[in-house]
Structures are given as C-alpha cells and as structure tokens.
C-alpha cells in the first residue's frame, strides 16, 4: 500500500486550501487504496476571508486547525513528517496556498516557501519520489527547484502571468487545460492547473484524478 502525503493550507479557496481540489485528491487516493497522511503547518494563516462577501475578517485562524475540517481531524503537523516516511507527496492548491504555504500572492516570483514545507518537498525530490502539484502549487514546486539549483517542468495552465513567473525561476512550463497533466519524468513531478483553468468541479476532477493516477504509477 503506497504511503502518500497530502499537504493542506487551511480550509477555503480564498484563504486556505481549495476544498474541491483537496477532497477530489483524497477521494482518488482512497479509491486507489493509498495510505494517506494529511498534514498542514501549525501556524496562523495569512488572513481570514469571508467567502460569501470576499471581504477580509479581523480575526486569526490556525492553518492546521482549519485543515483538520477537511481531514475530519485525521491530520498531523507537517513539521513532524519526513520524506523517508512517504512514497509520494501531493499539494492541492487554492489562493490560500499562495498566502500560507508560500507568499506568492504577495511577493510574486520573489516568494519564499515556509521552512518545513520546503524541507519536505526537497526531501521528496532528492529521493526521486513522485510529487503532485495542483492549481497554484506548481509555482511553489518551481520555487523549491530553483532553490535546489535544479531544472524541471510544471504547468501554469494557460495563465500568462503564472507561466512567466515560473519561467523567471528557470523552470520550464507547458500549457495545459483543466483536464490535462504535465509530467516531468526526470524529477517525477506531475502537475495540473485545476481551478486555474477549470470552470466546474467536474473539469477540476478530470485533471486531478489523472494526476493522482500518474503519481501512483511513478512510485518505484
């Protein structure tokens, strides 16, 4: 039974993990018989958004506690997980990921990935284990590859700004629609744009399900 880590960034597309993308990922892994470890950083999220009005709320929320809503409480602090414990790693997206896991939403291509996520991502890549990146997560993976001094390939969908930002990190891009995946065979990195391009949950699911299947195939 393959052991797959899934990193969440909160609960809600605007300030945490994209819920559809997260649930589709977890469902596909469960259907495939994977042993899943859900994790998130134990720290406060960047801000809190009212998802009805899209307005910021003057309060604070913890990323791990919020992510536990999606995980039904079965979740651990990403700081406690090492690459040795996993066969693969997958990152669902969401605008909140680009605020909580790395600060791309604020800093653009000069962004920084939080320490424990960067460490775990590097451990997976260095060990030659498969990694899946959904939605905005390919930008985070590109930043880690840049930090490692490695080349690679991911998708920014068909978004010109995201694509340009990834390329500015020295990482190759390939356009993809919501139902497509892009595979970097050398680094075993699989990416799909999901809601960067998707107009419905059905469209997002098509690419995510392909990504999960390919990640599992790449486990040696």
Please state the domain count of the chain.
Answer: 1
> pLDDT tens string for the chain (220 positions)?
999 999 999 999 888 999 999 999 999 999 999 999 999 999 999 787 888 888 878 888 999 999 999 999 999 999 999 999 999 999 999 988 999 999 999 999 999 999 999 999 999 999 999 999 999 999 999 999 999 999 999 999 999 999 999 999 999 999 999 999 999 999 999 999 999 999 999 999 999 999 999 999 999 7
Q: What CATH number should be reported for the domain holding residue 123? A: 3.40.50.880
Return d(Cα 24, Cα 209) in angstroms, integer. Answer: 7
Whole-Å CA distances, 139 to 30, 87, 97, 144, 156: 26, 22, 10, 9, 7
Q: Which residues of 89-106 are buried (b: 16+ CB within 10 A; e: fewer)?
A: bbbbbbbbbbbbbbbbee
User: Strand pairing of 131-134 and 189-192?
Assistant: parallel
Rg (CA), the chain: 15
Residue 11 annotated to the active site? no
Q: Are 141 and 154 in contact (CB under 8 A)?
A: yes
pTM of the model: 0.96
Domain that holds residue 12: 3-218
Return d(Cα 188, Cα 17) in angstroms, integer. Answer: 23
């Amino acid at each position: 039974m393959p052991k797959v880590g899934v990193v969440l960034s909160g609960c809600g597309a605007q300030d945490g993990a994209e819920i559809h993308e997260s649930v589709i990922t977890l469902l596909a892994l469960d259907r495939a018989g994977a042993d899943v470890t859900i994790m998130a950083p134990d720290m406060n999220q960047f801000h809190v958004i009212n998802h009805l009005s899209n307005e910021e709320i003057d309060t604070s929320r913890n990323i791990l506690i919020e992510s536990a809503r999606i995980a039904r409480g079965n979740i651990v602090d990403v700081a406690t997980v090492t690459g040795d414990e996993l066969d693969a790693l997958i990152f669902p997206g969401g605008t909140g990921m680009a605020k909580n896991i790395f600060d791309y939403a604020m800093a653009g291509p000069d962004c920084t990935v939080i320490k424990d996520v960067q460490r775990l991502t590097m451990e997976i890549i260095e060990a030659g284990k498969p990694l899946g990146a959904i939605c905005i997560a390919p930008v985070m993976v590109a930043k880690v590859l840049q930090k490692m001094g490695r080349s690679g390939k991911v998708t920014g969908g068909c978004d010109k700004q995201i694509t340009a930002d990834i390329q500015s990190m020295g990482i190759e891009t390939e356009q993809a629609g919501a139902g497509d995946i892009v595979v970097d065979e050398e680094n075993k990195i699989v990416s799909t744009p999901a809601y960067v391009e998707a107009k419905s949950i059905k469209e997002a699911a098509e690419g995510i399900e392909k990504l999960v299947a390919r990640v599992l195939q790449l486990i040696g």
